[in-house]
Structure 1
Amino acid sequence: MRLLYDHQAFTLQDFGGVSRYHHELLCHANWESELAVALSNNLYLRDGQHSRHRTFLPDSNLPARWRVIRYFNQRASRQALRRNAFDVFHPTLLDDDYFLPQLAPERPLVVTIHDMIPALFPAHYPDRDDTALRNILQRASRIITVSEHTRADVLRLLPVEANRVRVVYHGYTEREYPAGGPTLPVPARYVLFTGSRALYKNFGCLVEALAMLPESEAAGLHLVCAGGGPFTASEQELLARVGWASRTHQFGPVSDAQLSELYRGARAFVFPSEYEGFGLPILEAYGQQCPVLLSEASCFPEIARDAALYFPPDQPAALARQLGRVLHDEPLRRQLVQLGQLRLLDFTWQHTARRTRAVYEEALQEAAGPTSFSSTPLSALEL
């Protein structure tokens, strides 16, 4: 079985969850793969194992850089589609249906939906156009979602049949990093927040919760934010208003090694988001033995189960109470770390690859004709 993956995530992202997901599939694949990428500055492709691409002005912020990369990568993907030397096509994003005219009718199309954020938060995406997505889903043989919660959202919000949608969880792989790399000047005692702080990420809830901590619990405590860019004017105003401006630090972008270091040193990792499709940072925190606090929203209880403390995303006072517990209750901290280590055993990229292969094989069997197609749902298969 030979898979073709297109360029889109590796054109738009130098690093990030979607390109990381597809790179992990390539790394753990038990199938032949082609990644149709000519130019990319993506960090995960730097080893050159999965594509014969070149970098292009990796240290430049010129808008024209992205247009050049996109032009050559889309040309490479179109050429690969026309060669038709693959069994299944798996595009890495669903924002552009450019590939539909080139995709041979007999070739199965498998897609992954990571979340339904634009549909659930339409006020944040006023220019959203679902035309390409709906065209793609109409053609797709199988649709992968990364959690049961996201599957339910897809079935509720999009015109797709339940028998075409399969859940395949993300995985986690422990990595070893060379000693002696650049370290970050972090405070001795801190709470960690990672990634974007905008919109539904609910960063303000965490800031307000920190301000509610009694001085006995907040003494010497700092907030460290990894990635997400510099603080906006409104964020700076909020931090100043609650008295946490001097105790909040932003680092980024950070390397994977530095991010692992931040998890290891944190008193807790807080993920207050109102919605996520899966929540990879949960697994990253587990991997570095960091206690996890999560909003009781979307897929979080499904992914973390009892290996986290929860709070309603609209109640900073509840988050403050949970923070107080994890900051000073050492037996609770140890219990959360142990439960996180156990939960991590359920999420491996090898398992993700095996279940993804099963989806590809389902799509191929269906394309071969009704006599070859097994209607057994993926959730019932022992993989």
Structure 2
Amino acid sequence: MRVLYDHQAFTLQDFGGISRYHHELLCHASWQSELAVALSNNLYLRDGSYSHHRTFLPNVPVRGRWRVMRYFNHRASVRALRRGAYDVFHPTLTDDDYFLELLEDRPLVITLHDTIPTLFPQYYPDRDGKVLERIVRRASRIITVSENTRADVLRLLPVAPERVCVVHHGYADREYLNAGPALPLPARYVLFTGSRALYKNFGGLLAALALLPPAVAANLHLVCAGGGPFTADEREQLQRIGWAGRAHQFGPVSDAQLNQLYRQAQVFVFPSQYEGFGLPILEAFGQQCPVLLSSASCFPEIAQDAALYHHPHQPAELAQQLERLLLDTARRRELVRAGQLRLLDFTWQQTARRTRAVYEAAAQDANPHAVLSPVPPRIPVLEL
């Protein structure tokens, strides 16, 4: 079986969850893979195992660099689609439907990592929801990364239930990015990772920190990884609650540094109002870090009994659960053990195996007499 992947995630991301997901599929594929990328600075592709691409001014902040990469990568993907040497097409993003007119009758498999733009349209005023609707209507199969996301897809988009399959993400404790120096971290801290904007509910965490009893908050710090420097509003709120001198932002961080952040944290807090899967949960489990989650969206499905939960709109409940974890060493150890067990249910090998089954179902629908068998991966040569 031959599967073609397009360029989109590897053009937009130097590193990140979606391009990492597709890279893991390439790493664990039992099918022939073609990645249509000509120019990319994505760190997961740096060893050249899955494409003969070139880097383009990496680490150089040149205006228009992304547009140049997109131009050549779009051409590479269009050429691969027109060449037709594939059984299934799997685009790496669903923000652009350029491929619909090129597919003819070939099977299309897409992965929907979440339905955030549809659920929170006020945060995405420039997003054209009709693009996703057109892609969804044409898709032979739709992969969602959680049962919660599948339910949202069926509720919000025009798709038949039998075409939507759940395939969870996996976890691998490997380093993609250069290690970098160890971070200078405080002795006791609460960890928050990723973007702090919009539905991520960072303000709810700050409100909860303000409610901690002085004896619990003494010598406690807040560490944020990624998400950029604190904004003026965030600095003002930190100043107002008396945490300005105890809040630290690091980023971007290497994989080794991120692991250090999880390992040394008292607790990882993920208060988001919505996530499609919540990969940082697995990252925390992998580094034996206790986890405190919002009870919203997919979180209970992914973490089950390996985390404590709070209502996303009740800072007092978050403060209560945070106090509980900070004071109860035995409970933190219990959560760490439960996290290690839960992590056994999430492997990239299993993700790839279930994804292959989706590809085969899509291909068999298109050609009921097709005989599909494993073949070694092939590295395509893409011309600029």
* TM-score, normalised with respect to structure 1: 0.94
Deviations along 1:326-382, one digit per CA (max 9) or x if unpaired, are 11111101100000000001000000000000000000111113999xxxxxxxxxx
CA offsets 1:264-301 (integer angstroms, 9 cap, x no match): 01000000000000000000000000000000100000
Residues 37 and 280 from structure 1, CA distance in 2 versus in 1: closer, same or farther, beyond 3 angstroms? same
2:344 maps to a residue whose letter is: L
Q: Secondary structure at the match of 1:63?
A: coil
Counterparts of 1:138-149 in structure 2, within 5 Å, are 138-149=137-148
Bigger RCO of structures 1 and 2 (CA < 8 A, at least 6 apart): 2
Stretch of structure 1 that moved more, 201-210 or 172-181: 172-181
Tell me how far apart the structure 2 counterparts of residues 259 and 180 of structure 1 sit (CA, whole Å).
10
**SS of equivalent to 1:191:** strand
Cα deviations across residues 103-151 of structure 1 (Å, max 9, x unaligned)?
Answer: 131x110000000001111111122211221111121100000000000
After superposition, the Cα gap between the structure-2 partners of 1:177 and 1:205, relative to the gap in structure 1 and judged at 3 Å, is same
8 Å contact kept, 2:179–2:254: no
Label 1:176 to 1:135 Cα distance change in 2 as closer, same or farther (>3 A).
Answer: closer
| Structure 2: tracts of 5 or more residues without a match | 372-384
Asked if residue 175 in structure 1 is aligned to residue 171 in structure 2, the reply is: no
Matching residue's letter, 1:139: R
Which amino acid is 1:270 matched to? V
C-alpha distance in 1, partners of 2:169/2:81? 27
Map of 1:212 onto structure 2? 211
Mapped to 2, the partners of 1:240 and 1:193 lie a distance apart of 18
Task: Find the residue that maps to 2:171 and give its secondary structure.
Answer: coil
Q: 3-state DSSP class of the match of 2:276?
A: coil
Partner SS for 1:187: coil
For residues 164 and 10 of structure 2, the distance between their equivalents in structure 1, rounded to whole angstroms, comes to 25
1:86 matched residue in structure 2: 86
Distance 1:233 1:180 in 2: 31
Q: 1:115-126 maps to which residues of 2 (within 5 A)?
A: 115-126=114-125
Structure 1 contact 84–104 (Cα < 8 Å) conserved: no
The question of whether the paired residues in 1 share the 8 Å contact of 2:179 and 2:257 is answered with no
1:326 paired with 2:321, answer no
Aligned residues: 372
* Structure 2: distance between partners of 1:86 and 1:30: 15
- In the alignment, which residue of structure 2 is the partner of 1:12? 12
Secondary structure, counterpart of 2:170 in structure 1: coil
Question: Could you tell me which residue of structure 1 aligns to residue 70 of structure 2?
Answer: 70
The 8 Å contact of residues 177 and 255 in structure 2, kept in 1 or not, is answered as no
1:175 CA displacement: 2.2
Q: Is the 8 A contact 2:4 2:86 kept in 1?
A: yes
Task: State the alpha-carbon separation in 2 of the partners of residues 130 and 340 from structure 1.
Answer: 37
- More displaced 10-residue stretch of structure 1: 147-156 or 55-64: 55-64
**Mapped pair 1:38 → 2:20:** no
- Name the counterpart of 1:256: 255
Corresponding residue number in structure 1 for 2:376: none
| 1:101 counterpart residue number | 101
Mapped pair 1:55 → 2:59: no
Q: Which moved more, 1:197-206 or 1:96-105?
A: 96-105
Give the 3-state SS of the residue equivalent to 2:349 in structure 1. Answer: helix
User: Residue 236 of structure 2 aligns with which residue?
Assistant: 237
RMSD: 1.7
Give the whole-Å Cα distance in 1 for the aligned partners of 2:6 and 2:74: 8
**How far does residue 61 in structure 1 lie from its aligned partner after superposition?**
2.5
1:215 to partner: Cα distance = 1.4
Hey, what's the Cα distance between the residues in 2 that align with 1:36 and 1:120?
A: 31
Instruction: State the one-letter code of the partner of 1:90.
Output: H
Q: How does 1:361-380 map to 2 (within 5 A)?
A: 361-369=360-368
Cα displacement (A) at 1:18: 0.7
Residues 233-264 of structure 1: CA deviation (Å, up to 9, x unaligned): 11111111111111000000111111011100
Distance 1:245 1:140 in 2: 49
CA distance in 1, matches of 2:277, 2:159: 20
Once the two structures are superposed, the pairs formed by residues 172-321 of structure 1 within 5 Å of their partners are: 172-175=171-174, 181-321=180-320
Partners of 1:313 and 1:154 in 2: CA distance: 22
Q: CA deviation at 1:34?
A: 0.7
1:2 maps to a residue whose letter is R
Counterparts of 1:130 and 1:270, CA distance in 2? 31
- Partner Cα separation in structure 1 for residue 235 and residue 179 of structure 2: 33
Name the SS of the counterpart of 1:33 in structure 2: strand
Q: Letter of the 2:139 partner, please give it.
A: A
Equivalent residues of 1:114, 1:278 under 8 A apart? yes
Whichever residue aligns with residue 314 of structure 2, its letter is Q
**1:175 and 1:92 mapped to 2: Cα distance?**
22
Q: 1:333 to 1:114 in 2, by over 3 A?
A: same
Cα pair 2:179 2:255 within 8 Å, conserved: no
Aligned partner of 1:78: which letter?
V
Give the partner amino acid of 1:130. Answer: G
Q: Equivalents in 1 of 2:345, 2:307: separation in Å?
A: 15
> What amino acid sits opposite 1:15 in the alignment?
F
In 2, Cα distance between the equivalents of 1:78 and 1:118?
A: 26
Per-residue deviation, 1:158:
0.4
1:71-118 Cα deviation digits (max 9, x unpaired): 00000001111111111100000000111122131x110000000001
